Amino acid sequence: MDEALTELLIRRVAATEAEEVSLPHILVTVDVVTNVVTYSGPFASAVDALRAADLERSRQQQQCHPGWGVTVDVAPLFAPDAVRDAP
C-alpha cells in the first residue's frame, strides 16, 4: 500500500473513532460464570459510559464472591440506518 493511501486510511479511521465518542453508549456486562449478559444505558457519551463502567466494576468487586466475576465493556449505540439516514 502506498504512503498516501495509508495516510488517508489512518485519517478516516481516526475521524470515525472520534465521531463514535460523542454517540450514546451502553454498558455490556457479562457474568463469567453463568454467561448472563445485561445491557445498561444508554449514556450520553463514551465518557459517561466509562464512568458508569468504573462504578459498576467497583460495585461488583465489593459484592462478588471469590471466583465469581463479571466483565464490563462499553459500546457505542448506533442508530438503525433508516433512522440515521432520514432527512
How many domains is the chain built from? 1
Instruction: Say how far apart CA 53 and CA 25 lie, in whole Å.
Output: 11
The answer to the question of residue 47 being in a domain is yes
The answer to the question of residue 11 being in a domain is no
**pLDDT tens, 38-83?**
999 999 998 999 999 999 888 877 876 666 678 889 999 887 774 5
Range of the domain at 65: 23-84
Looking at the predicted structure, is the pLDDT value of residue 33 above 90? no
Q: Quote the pLDDT of residue 82.
A: 42
Q: Which span out of 3-12, 19-28, 57-66 was modeled with the highest average pLDDT?
A: 19-28
- At residue 19 the predicted structure's pLDDT band, cuts being 50, 70 and 90, is confident
The answer to the question of residue 15 being in a domain is no
The answer to the question of residue 48 being in a domain is yes
Q: Quote the pLDDT of residue 83.
A: 52
Q: Quote the pLDDT of residue 37.
A: 96
